[in-house]
Amino acid sequence: IVDSSVKYNSKLLKDNINSLIIRYPFIKVITIGYSVLGVLFIVSRFGTGPKEVFYCGTTHANEWITSTLLMTFLENMCVAYNR
């Protein structure tokens, strides 16, 4: 679903998240706010247990590569979790 060969943007992120939710319905996604430009801040979550891990990307405006990295990681985790 996630194509790491293209430059990421917020529209592609939303499309990928929606596609991942359809394929992996155990993913929970919530909006936690908006940027000054009106772009959603989202959190995706899956799994249960006593330990929690937080991964954050695109902390600064032009760090699109970290979004691609995290989305690829999320998809790989979903594949592994679904086996």
Residues 32, 43: contact at Cβ < 8 Å?
yes
Q: 74 phi and psi, to 5 degrees?
A: -60, -45
Question: What confidence tens digit (pLDDT) does each residue in 1-24 have?
Answer: 999 888 888 889 889 999 999 999
Q: Output the pLDDT for position 73.
A: 93
Q: How confident is the model at residue 25 (pLDDT cuts 50, 70, 90)?
A: very high
pTM exceeds 0.75 for this model: yes
Angle at Cα 62 formed by Cα 8 and Cα 34, nearest 5°? Answer: 80
| Beta pairing partners, 33 | 41
Q: Output the pLDDT for position 9.
A: 82
| DSSP H helices in the chain | 10-23, 64-82
